[in-house]
Structure 1
Amino acid sequence: MIVIAGATGTVGREATRLLTDRATPFRALSRTPTAGRTHADPADPASLGQALTSASALLLIGPGTPDLPAYDQAFLAAAERAGVTRVVKLSSIPVGPVARWHRAGEEATRTFPEWTLLRPSLFASNSLQWAPLVAAGEPIPNPTGDARLGVVDPRDLAEVAVAALLDDHHGRTYTLTGPELLSAPEQVAVLAEVLGRPLTTVDAPLAEYAEVLRDAAIRTDDIASVLGRPARDYATWARECYPRP
């Protein structure tokens, strides 16, 4: 039995869809009671124990918040008690504060008999937060200047995660990016072309990004190596997923 922690998130929802399509048994977890999801609260060890009963593999997807280390620790301790042998952890590219929040969970994941670490770059879906501004025709704030990141389609992340759950990727750490490096203004330019309307940005620099962005311009072919096809580019994601005003 495969268990998916964080099944209501962007990658988790897609992973459940892929496993459903493959007719692979799985149990989707949620911290809040949700239809079709098993309740599993890291603050309630008993709920974790029940959620992980008979599980052989765990896809660990946590929140992007400072309580992530405690979340990971609770799930991985429960997985160890339940006899889970395979853990696939969705982590982050190794720069900035979010990567530091993942560090303890990565170390604990490596203690399982079979483990895989997935370190994605910036999600393409993060640009959905611009949708109200796009609809209103207002400028999109750009806090990152001309820094360019390997924007990645979350659907590719879910496909790699499912491959790691079902096949042999033990001991591998994958850095998962899109096929190109894009700045925020370049993403907005792609959206403008896809939507067929002019879009603009306005600089809104944030000092806390400066250290992170120096090392975040990472592009790899790890998605292609796992899936046997190129990673989807940002334009493909935008054409298929960005809401039309």
Structure 2
Amino acid sequence: MLASVEPTQGLDNQRLDETGANMIVVTGATGNVGRPLVQALVAAGEQVTAVSRRISVADIPPGVRHLQADLLDPGGLVPVFDNAEALFLVTSGDFLAAGGSAGAVLDVARAGGVRRVVLLSSQGVATGRHPSALEDPVTRSELEWTLLRPGGFDSNTLRWAETIRTQRMVAAPFGDVALPTIDPADIAEVAAVALRGPGHVGRAYELTGPEPVSPRQQAAAIADALGEPVRFVDQTHAEAREQLLRFMPEPVVEATLDILGNPTSGEQRVSPDVERILGRRPRTFAEWAARNIAAFK
């Protein structure tokens, strides 16, 4: 949902590449959103610097400048922002848990010439699940900013890939609780628009898929794409908690299970923002599954 915030001052009435340097820096460039964002920007003819902690040439399209860097070391980011005007910023859970400072990253970016930032935030800020402090360094900066607040990603189901490949089985909690999860490629396309075009400064967009879909329905969509049955097993809260604790800190696990099991009406609502910005309906989970079915074979 479009937030009621006033645009900040700036040069939002013109394309970035009409004002001189036009490099767009993409952090998290090999992630579920960063990878399609780099591809979308390259397809649009933009100059891109792809940044990741771990990166290989195979991850990056030809002609893209790629740098290995860590946001936890802002001083090491200085070369990243050479000739850059815009930044796509991803601050991961690991970054925040390690005491990373988005403000310090933005200070280096601004000193390097960046004047626009698009932050990958979370729907949880809008619904009160996550603190506004996640976004404060951006909204309080002197940069022209846009906030993207997606709900759950379709790609979160990749955690089922091993059991689907080996057992044709999915185990998940809250099998019939539906949420409007979003295709990361749609997030990337929205980010590309916000980074390149006018009208998005000072805006916060809530990004969802076109319809609520439950874990049981997601498993069925993967089965349809495979052409083989996939058995769904309901996990208990305790079983899901134990599994998630293997790769998530406890507070994140508790918040995740609360959203999955007891979503608010806001978390179940389909937002119009993707269609409003892209001029088309968001992709369905079934479309995501068909496009990524190789991961489950």
Output the TM-score relative to the length of structure 2: 0.75
Tell me, in whole angstroms, the C-alpha distance in 1 between the residues paired with 2:29 and 2:98.
16
Q: How does 1:138-217 map to 2 (within 5 A)?
A: 138-168=168-198, 169-206=200-237, 208=254, 209-212=256-259, 213-215=262-264, 216-217=267-268
Secondary structure at the aligned position of 2:135 is classed as: helix
One-letter code of the match for 1:211? D
Aligned to 1:219: 270
Query: Which segments of 5 or more consecutive residues in structure 1 lack a partner in the other structure?
Result: none
The alpha-carbon distance between structure 1 residues 44 and 211, as it changes in their structure 2 partners (threshold 3 A), is: closer
Aligned to 2:92: 63
One-letter code of the match for 2:97? D
The alpha-carbon distance between structure 1 residues 95 and 106, as it changes in their structure 2 partners (threshold 3 A), is: closer
Q: Which one of 77, 82, 95 corresponds to residue 107 of structure 2?
A: 77
Tell me, in whole angstroms, the C-alpha distance in 1 between the residues paired with 2:177 and 2:50.
36
Output the TM-score relative to the length of structure 1: 0.89
Tell me the CA shift for residue 222 of structure 1. 0.7
One-letter code of the match for 1:107? D
Aligned to 1:118: 148
One-letter code of the match for 1:142? A
Tell me, in whole angstroms, the C-alpha distance in 2 between the residues paired with 1:19 and 1:33.
18
- The answer to whether the 8 Å contact 1:62/1:68 transfers is no
> Once superposed, what is the RMSD of the aligned Cα atoms?
2.4
The alpha-carbon distance between structure 1 residues 124 and 31, as it changes in their structure 2 partners (threshold 3 A), is: same
Relative contact order (C-alpha < 8 Å, sep 6+): which is higher? 2
User: Which structure 1 residue ranges, 4+ long, deviate > 6 Å from structure 2?
Assistant: none
Secondary structure at the aligned position of 2:51 is classed as: strand
> More deviation in 123-132 or 204-213?
204-213
> More deviation in 149-158 or 55-64?
55-64
Which structure has the larger Rg over C-alpha atoms? 2
Secondary structure at the aligned position of 2:33 is classed as: helix
Query: Which segments of 5 or more consecutive residues in structure 2 lack a partner in the other structure?
Result: 1-22, 58-64, 239-253
Q: Which one of 50, 65, 70 corresponds to residue 79 of structure 2?
A: 50
